[in-house]
Amino acid sequence: MKRIFFVLSTLSLLGLLQWGVTTLLLDGPIRQGPYYYQILILAGINIVLAVSLNLTNGIAGQFSIGHAGFFAVGAYMAASVSYYAGPAIRGLVGFLPLAGQDAAVLLLALAAAALATALAGLLVGIPSLRLRGDYLAIVTLGFGEIIRVLILNIDAVGGARGFSGIPKLSNFFWVYLLVAAVIATVGNLLRSSYGRAFIAIRENEIAAQAMGIDVTRHKVLAFVISSMFAGMAGCLFGHYTMYLHTNSFTFVKSFEIIIMIAIGGLGSIEGAVLGAVLLTVLPEAFRGFESYRMIIYSLALILIMIYRPQGILGQASVLKRLGARMAARRSAQGNVPVTAPAADGGNGG
C-alpha cells in the first residue's frame, strides 16, 4: 500500500515537474530555455549511465570500460523499433489519444532496448566474467569497438551517415522516470543481500565463494543489470536527439562515464549522480575554453585519484549513514545499548 502510494506520488511529481519545466523552459519567458532543458535531459541520461555502471565497477568491483557500447546497442535498437515498427504499433493502439500512442511506441522501444542490451550483456559477461582479472575490461573495450564498426556497416540504421528521422518521443518525464528507476533499483539492491554479495565479491572473491556465493553468476547479474539500464538510457537519448551517429558512442564516452563515477566516488550512488551532473554542467560552463576543458578534466581526475581515491563523496554514502542513524534510533528505543566503541584500532595484518 505504502509503496503504491510512493510510486504514484513519484509519478505525479514527475508529471508536475514535466509540466513546470516545459512551461518554464520550452514555452516560457526564459531566454535560452530550450538550451537549459537540453542540459537537464543530458544530465538525466548521464545519471542513468553513471549509476548503472557503478553497479558493475563500483559495487561489484569488476571493471567494464565499454559502457558506451551498450548505450549504443540500446539507442540503435530502440530507434529501429520506433522508426520501422512505429506506424504499425500506432495502428494497433489507434484507439488511444496521440500521447498514449507515443507512450506505447516509446515503451515498446524501451523494452526492445532493455532486452537487446541484457542479451548483449550476457553474451559479453559470461565468457569474460568466468575469469579473474582484467578480462572484462579488455573484452568490453573490444565489444564497444566492434559494435561501433558493425553499426557503421548496417545501412538500415544509417551506417556512416547516421540514423535520422527518429521520432521525438522522449522528454523530461521519461528521462527522470528512468533516473528514479535506476536509483531505486541499484539502491535497493545495494541494501539487500544481493548488494552484500556484490560487495563481498569486490572485497574478497575467494572468501565470497567460500561463503556459498556463486561468484560468476553474481558478477554476470550485476553486469547485465548495468547493461540493461545503459541500453534504456540509449533509447531515451535517441528519441530525444532524433539523430544517432556512432561518434557519440566511442570509447571516449565510456571513459567519460568512468570519470563520472570515479570523481563522485566508486560504489556510491550519490557520488555517481553528482559526477554525472558535474560532467554535464561543467563543460557547458567552460564553453569557450573548449580546448582546456579536457585537460582540466583529466588533471582533476588524476589528482582526485591520487589525493582522494574514494572520490568526492566516497563510499560511506549518505544513504548508508542515514540508515545507520535510523537503526541506532530504533535500537535506542528498544533500550538496547547503542554500538559500543571499538576496543582498539589494531589491525589484523
Partner 1 sequence: MALLRLQNATIRFGGLLAVKDLCFAIEEGELFGLIGPNGAGKTTVFNMITGVYSPTSGAILFDGKPIHGKAPHVIAASGIARTFQNIRLFTSMSVLENVLVSAHMRSSQGVLASVFRGPAFHREETAHREEAMRLLALFQLDKLADEAASSLPYGSQRRLEIARALATKPRLLLLDEPAAGMNPQEAADLMRLIRRIRDEFKVSILLVEHNMKVVMGVCERIQVVVHGEGIAMGAPAEIRKDAKVIEAYLGRE
Partner 2 sequence: MESFLQQLINGISLGSIYALVALGYTMVYGVLRLINFAHGDVYMLGAYFGFYLSRILQGRTPYHLLDAALVMFLSMLGCAICGLLMERFAYRPVRRASRLTMLIIAIGLSLLIENAGQLIFGANPKFFPQLIPESHIKLGGLMLTNQQVIVLLTAVTLMILLNLFIYRSRTGKAMRAVSFNMDAAKLMGIDTDRIIALTFALGSALAAAGGILVSINIPGIDPLMGVMTGLKAFVAAVLGGIGNIFGAVLGGLILGLAEVMVAGYGSSTYRDAIAFLILIVILLFKPAGLLGKGAVEKV
Applying CB under 8 A, which of residues 37, 76, 163, 194 lies at the interface with partner 1? 194
Instruction: Using the rule CB under 8 A, give the single segment among 41-49, 93-101, 230-238, 254-262 that binds partner 2.
Output: 254-262
Binding flags for partner 2, 194-233, as an x/- string (CB under 8 A):
------------x---------------------------
Q: At what angle do helices 98-129 and 215-241 cross, to 10 degrees?
A: 140
Q: How far is the CB of 309 from partner 1 (least distance, A)?
A: 13
Crossing angle of the two packed helices 98-129 and 67-80, in degrees rounded to 10: 140
CB 240 within 8 A of CB 41: yes
Contact 180, 14 (CB under 8 A): yes
11 interacts with partner 1 by CB under 8 A: no
Here the cell at position 264 is 563522485
Residue 312 interacts with partner 2 (CB under 8 A): yes or no: no
208 binds, among partner 2, partner 1, none (CB under 5 to 8 A by kind): partner 1
Q: Is 156 in the site for partner 2 (CB under 8 A)?
A: no
Distance, CA of 229 to CA of 66 (rounded, Å) = 14
Cross-strand partners of 244:
163
Q: Which stretch binds partner 2 (CB under 8 A): 78-86, 135-143, 164-172, 226-234?
A: 135-143
Torsion of CA 255, 183, 136, 219, to 10 degrees: 170
Cell of 102: 507515443
Span from 1-9, 90-98, 129-137, 185-193 in contact with partner 2 (CB under 8 A): 129-137
Residues 260 and 275 sit within 8 Å (Cβ to Cβ): yes
**Residues in 167-186 that interact with partner 1 by CB under 8 A:** 184-185
Q: Binding residues for partner 1, per CB under 8 A?
A: 3, 184-185, 188-189, 192-194, 196-197, 199-200, 203-204, 206-215, 221, 225, 315, 324, 327-328, 337, 339-340, 342-349
